[in-house]
Amino acid sequence: MAISWGRSTGWLCAGFLVLAAAAIPAFAHHSFAMFDHDHQIKLAGTVTQFQWTNPHVYIGLDVTSGSGSGAASVKQYTIECANPGILDRSGWKWNMIKVGDKITAVIAPLRSGEAGGLLKVVKLADGREFGNGGPAGKASVAVEGK
Amino acid sequence: MRSALTGVAVVLLLWGPCVQAAAPPAVGQTAPLDHGMLLGTWARVRDPGDSGRVSAATAKLLNIKEFGNTRASPVIVVAELPPLRQQYVSKWVDFIRRSHEADERGQPLATGYSHCLPDGMPTMMEGMFPMQVLQSPGDIVFVEEAYRQIRHIYLDQKQISPITDAEPGFWGHSVGHWEGNTLMVNTVGIRDEARMEGVPHSDQMQINEQIKVLSPDTFQDAVTVIDPVYLTQPWSFTWTFKRDPSYKLLEYVCEDNREDSNSEHQNLRLFQAPPAQH
């Protein structure tokens, strides 16, 4: 028996539509459901890795906290970016970030609480700013200031 | 006089191909290289006739915020729901639900994407990234940047019969012919793993496309999926492309997918400390 998508099953359609949204192959590999876009954070740190690969580009970033009298601790973040194609079309260059660079990044952090997230915008040591392509969405936190 | 004639000849030489390219082809004509209208590089765009277009109401219904500002970017999902037969609906919905829950946990399900497999047909024609069309005397070739997918549409061959004799592949076996400004294509032989949005299909599935050149810089791919085993009726959708003459396709090798659920360290791998530099 065939299923009807008519008005009588409108609620069913609505349910399927909501579920079907999860199948959007955003960035080709997974949805952004694992990232908390409503509580973006800003990170300032030192680049430990810049990997220009498909299906994603990754930035490794050491972020130091606990300055002053307290003991400083370093947290190692992994920041997921779009892929080289999307970033290339957004003005990035494959070698524009290097290990040791001091950068600032706004990310949508992992909901799991692990030290990682989806890049929204990055500010390089020379002051240039780059987004993460359209599908990743815009930053809701300024990369400038505190 | 001689130079004037030479000038005319040059103009004719330059003009000739333009006239030839612009002239509509005859119905049913399959002569090689006379339908160069698709040659070049193309990018998927949002368009009133494009199935990826999501209205404000639908966007709200879909809770699109969950996926970033998808509304501001080319949407590559098919808005039309698959007309699955009743007995296959619940399994598909369950897959979508589990997929969503797994994504929220940061542990995506094992799918072709997580294993770095290419889309195959018909998903490839969503044009996730730009694509380039090439042509030789016997076939038209679509090259999709994502996963560096290559698809041949043969103009000089008949379709395999019976369909179930077609060797299963990601892109199957495509044959086509021109009808006016429309390239009519039939594809069979898609392997089971190549599923658009997780929708199952049988070895009797056929994908019919009308790749219509609307203008020198626009074409639409109207896709119709037919599958007597899984679908109650044809599943149709349309994708629109605009010419992007300045773009050069990049390499794409899926070499480090940290969402690969084959890995026993899947979630740890996703955001663990990066490996040492080489």
Q: pLDDT at position A15, please?
A: 38
Position A47: which residue type? V
Nearest to A2 among B86, B99, B271 (CB): B86
Please tell me the least confidently modeled range out of B21-25, B118-122, B218-222. Answer: B21-25
Task: At B14, list the tokens.
Answer: 């330059």
Residue B66 reports pLDDT greater than 60:
no
Please report residues of B whose CB lies closer than 8 A to that of A131: none
**Residues B76, A24: C-beta atoms closer than 8 Å:** yes
Burial tier of B268 (Cβ tally within 10 Å: 0-12, 13-18, 19+):
exposed
Q: pLDDT at position B6, please?
A: 43
Please tell me the least confidently modeled range out of A15-19, B136-140, B186-190, B273-277. Answer: A15-19
Segment B209-224 shows an average pLDDT of 95
Strands B149-154 and B173-179: parallel
Residues contacting residue B4 through CB under 8 Å, at least 6 positions apart: none
**Residue A123 to residue A105: CA distance in whole angstroms:** 6
Give B202→chain A minimum CA distance, Å.
17
Q: pLDDT at position B126, please?
A: 87
What residue in A sits closest to B260 (Cα-Cα)? Answer: A29
Please report residues of B whose CB lies closer than 8 A to that of A21: 62-64, 66-67, 77
What residue in B sits closest to A138 (Cα-Cα)? Answer: B69
Kindly give the confidence (pLDDT) of every residue in chain A, 146 residues in length, as a single tens digit, with 9 standing for 90 and above.
Answer: 333 333 333 333 333 333 333 222 333 445 677 888 899 999 999 999 999 999 899 999 999 987 666 678 999 999 999 999 999 999 999 999 999 999 999 999 998 888 999 999 999 999 999 999 877 888 888 887 65
Please report residues of B whose CB lies closer than 8 A to that of A100: none
Residues in B 94-113 with any Cβ partner in A closer than 8 A: 96-97, 99-100, 103-106, 108, 113
**Residues A34, B256: C-beta atoms closer than 8 Å:** no
Q: Which residue has the tokens 């997780």?
A: B198
CB contacts < 8 A, A to B, total 167
What residue in B sits closest to A28 (Cα-Cα)? Answer: B113
Residue B107 reports pLDDT greater than 80:
no
Give yes or no for a contact between B38 and B211, defined as CB atoms under 8 angstroms apart.
yes
Which of A24, A38, A39, A112 to mutate against chain B (most B CBs within 10 Å)? A24
**Residues B250, A84: C-beta atoms closer than 8 Å:** yes
Task: At B172, list the tokens.
Answer: 């199957």
Residue B211 reports pLDDT greater than 80:
yes
Residue B204 reports pLDDT greater than 50:
yes
| Residue of higher predicted confidence among B49 and B14 | B49
Segment B244-254 shows an average pLDDT of 93
Task: At B256, list the tokens.
Answer: 């480090």
Segment B109-114 shows an average pLDDT of 77
Count CB-CB contacts under 10 A for residue B119: 23
Please report residues of B whose CB lies closer than 8 A to that of A116: 270-271
**Range among A63-67, B5-9, B144-148, B237-241 with highest mean pLDDT value:** B144-148
Confidence class for position B30, pLDDT limits 50, 70, 90: very low
Quick check: ipTM above 0.85? no
Q: pLDDT at position A65, please?
A: 85
Count CB-CB contacts under 10 A for residue B216: 11
**Residues A19, B100: C-beta atoms closer than 8 Å:** yes
**Residues B100, A22: C-beta atoms closer than 8 Å:** yes
